[in-house]
Amino acid sequence: MKPIKIMQDYKCKINIADYDYACLMIDVKPISIITEIQNQIDKSDINTEHGLETEQHVTVVYGIDILTHLSKFFNIIPSDIGRLKLGKLGIFDTNENYDVLKISVVPSEELLKLRKTILDTLPVTLTYTDYNPHITIGYLKKDTGKKYLEKFKDMDFSIELLKFSKYRYSSRNQNETFTVA
């Protein structure tokens, strides 16, 4: 998924770009350890179609109906999702064209509750059955991801992410930011 070009400290946004579904994400201020890993990835291992992630974020829900209006979120999105912590370095290797190098995120109870509320309240089409919150580092050529799991196996990822207070909703007709009181 190509995120809309919005860099903000730690906010939440709905992203639709050119896809059939919208996406609720929590933007995080760039984390230096992720940038450090990206700088050490061999250019020849990077998938040229998707590349390295330029906007660090955690997806809350992908698959929100693009016709969902911003006002639908006012009553269901909380002002606090608790604190998120980074987990372990890993890969998604189920795509036949690339590996996704990522760091898992240990979700807060509030984040899981927010996801459930959205799933229970809004029209959503899930494209994956399991929820694996993470921050994508980059898309690598197929079968190169394990090389980086080994290379960075001794790195400490025990970083606590900060709270957020803003959300972004973007669709073909809207692009708005609002603050939760």
Q: In the chain, how many domains are there? A: 1
Phi first, then psi, for residue 55 (nearest 5°) are: -125, 105
Nearby residues of 124 by Cβ (< 8 Å), 6 or more positions away: 61, 63, 64, 65, 118
| pLDDT at residue 89 is higher than 80 | yes
**C-beta separation of 163 from 10 below 8 A:** yes
166 located within any domain: yes
| pLDDT at residue 11 is higher than 60 | no
Coil, helix or strand for 134? strand
44 located within any domain: yes
Residue 104, domain CATH: 3.90.1140.10
What pLDDT is recorded for position 100? 97
What pLDDT is recorded for position 32? 86
74 located within any domain: yes
38 located within any domain: yes
With residue 99 as reference, give the H or E element that holds it.
strand 98-106
Instruction: Give me the domain span that covers residue 133.
Output: 11-179
pLDDT digit string (tens) for 17-70?
555 677 777 777 778 889 999 999 999 999 999 999 988 888 888 888 766 666
What pLDDT is recorded for position 20? 66
5 located within any domain: no
1 located within any domain: no
Q: What is the mean pLDDT of residues 112-129?
A: 88
3 located within any domain: no
Grade residue 10 by pLDDT with cuts at 50, 70 and 90.
very low
pLDDT digit string (tens) for 135-171?
999 999 999 999 999 999 998 887 766 545 455 554 4
Predicted TM-score (pTM) of the model is: 0.80
Q: Among the residues of the chain, which ranges form H helices?
A: 32-39, 109-121, 145-151
> Tokens for 107?
């979700």
